A and B are shown apart, each in its own frame.
Chain A
Amino acid sequence: MGTTDIGPPDYHTMLPGVIKKNYGKWKYHEIIRPGVLKHVSETGDVVYTVRVGSPRLVSVDFIRDICDVADKYCEGHLRFTSRYNIELMTGDIANVDKVIEAVKKLGLPVGGTGACISNIVHTQGWIHCHSAATDASGLVKSVMDELYDHFTNMKLPALLRISVACCINMCGAVHCSDLAIVGVHTKPPKVDNEKLAAVCEIPTTIRSCPTGAIRRHPDENIKSVVVREDLCMYCANCFTVCPAMPLADAMGDGVALYAGGKVSNARKPPMFSRMIVPYLPNNPPRWPEVVDIIKGVVNVYAEHARKYERMGEWIERIGWETFFRLTGIPFTEQHIDDFTHAVETYRTTTQFKW
């Protein structure tokens, strides 16, 4: 056996000099302009950070290009953020403009700070995932092209986090984002009896269903299962444990939209995102229906929310009934929860708006 369990490199070996020297000593920071942070240390040292948008799905040559910039102006160091942005740090203010110029030459935007729309956290989609109900990178590109100015300026009431997940497994904090796009199936699994008998364990498959929709095949000679379609909400958990039950369907698959989630504890506690649109068809390459609604909601939020109010805080204040009225998004029976914690969402007061 070769070398195993060495773990990742020690982070100490990756830190730029000014970071190492001022580790744990930072005093305050300011955003000196969109995409540029200035952190000041107790020691008097200053570090400037230029935040750069990335498509995340990148070639090794992209990484090398960024490394060239970091070698030239940032002493050969850089970092990435949890939202895939690239951060180029320098202690010398004279380098800030040079870094910005260099990354702009590479076609990359500078921004993602303060009251903006930062990079979209997303999943693999059709580029690499077997359970994807939609693409991820293409949706991100389509939405960010339209909301580009919100990345490079800071004119929103508060920061606005968008996430994309290509299925309801929701790799990425989609269930707690200001706006979320989630790939959904709308057709029950198509059981391949022959394959199922060969590759799946029947009790495990039956147990995988959260609504008990999967039963043993009534014909004892057929070693397979049947799906009670009226109980299936297309979660695809069965497909994950048993590949002989695919749900993917070109006509049925699409996306649902959610709004109002957050993870930060600032002001109100963290909140889940809530469904605003149950289904829109997949319409590659640009998903115009999705982009239109996202843009519309961002505009209504920008116009109506108070300063510092996150999407979810704004909606809580005005009420969901007002949200649907202002955005013009129709409220349907799909919006009403009928899963595990449904009753908690029913309105147990006479307080509501017309």
Chain B
Amino acid sequence: MNGEVTEALKQKIIEHLGTVSKAKNKEVAKALGIEKHLADKAIGELSKEDRIEYIYLDTSYIKLKGK
């Protein structure tokens, strides 16, 4: 659980989101092979930086901003 959020990690998430229309946090964690908690943290930062956005269809998804 002690992984740090780095710009490189965030970039990987952005790249992954480029390949899908939307994704759940846990799908991102699985695709990148990282801890779910770390993915949550990175995704939270990406959202604050306005690089991704949340969409809600029964559950929470993320997607690239404006995609």
Q: What residues make up the interface of A, taking CB atoms closer than 8 Å to B?
A: 1, 5
Q: DSSP majority for the A interface?
A: loop
Which residue from chain B places its CB closest to the CB of A241 in the assembled complex?
B58
B50 contacts A by Cβ under 8 Å: yes
For residue A47, give the distance in angstroms from its CB to the closest CB of chain B: 40
Chain A residues, Cβ within 8 Å of B50: 1
Chain A nearest Cβ from B58, distance in angstroms: 9
**Which residues of the other chain, A, contact B44 by a CB distance below 8 angstroms?**
5
Interface residues on B, range: under 10
What are the nearest 3 A-B pairs in CB distance?
Answer: A1-B50, A1-B47, A5-B44
Task: For A5, list chain B residues within 8 Å (CB).
Answer: 44
3 pairs from A and B in contact (CB 8 Å cutoff): A1-B47, A1-B50, A5-B44
CB distance from A139 to the nearest CB of B (A): 33
Which residue on A lies nearest to B53, using beta carbons?
A1
Of residues 26 to 50 in B, which have CB atoms within 8 Å of A's CB atoms? 44, 47, 50
Report the bound CA distance from A1 to B44 in whole Å: 13
**Nearest opposing residue in chain B for A204, CB measure:** B58
In the bound assembly, the distance between CA atoms of A5 and B50 in angstroms comes to: 14
- Closest chain B CB from A125 CB (angstroms): 26
With a CB–CB cut-off of 8 A, which chain A residues contact B47? 1
Closest to B47 in A: A1
For the complex, give the distance between the alpha carbons of A1 and B47 in Å. Answer: 9
Within B5-61, the residues touching A (CB, 8 Å) are 44, 47, 50
Bound complex: CA of A217 vs CA of B3, how far in Å?
51
**Alpha-carbon gap, A5 to B47, bound state (A):** 11
CA distance A5 to B54 in the complex (A): 14
CB distance from A352 to the nearest CB of B (A): 50
* A237 CB → nearest B CB, Å: 16
CA distance A1 to B50 in the complex (A): 8
Smallest CB gap from B44: residue in A: A5
- Closest-CB distance, A333 to chain B (whole angstroms): 39
Output the least CB separation between A302 and chain B (Å). Answer: 49
Give, as a whole number of angstroms, the nearest-CB distance from B45 to chain A: 11
Tell me the bound Cα distance from A5 to B41 in angstroms.
Answer: 13
Residues of B within 8 A of A1 (CB): 47, 50
A303 vs B27: C-alpha distance in the bound complex, in angstroms? 61
| Shortest Cβ distance from residue A203 to the other chain B in the assembled complex, whole angstroms | 14
CA gap between A1 and B49 in the complex, in Å: 10
Q: Tell me the minimal C-beta distance from B60 to chain A in angstroms.
A: 13
Q: Tell me the complex Cα distance, A182–B47, Å.
A: 42
Question: Least Cβ distance of B21 to chain A in Å?
Answer: 19
> How far apart are B57's CB and chain A's nearest CB, in angstroms?
12
Shortest Cβ distance from residue B66 to the other chain A in the assembled complex, whole angstroms: 13
* A235 vs chain B, min Cβ distance (A): 21
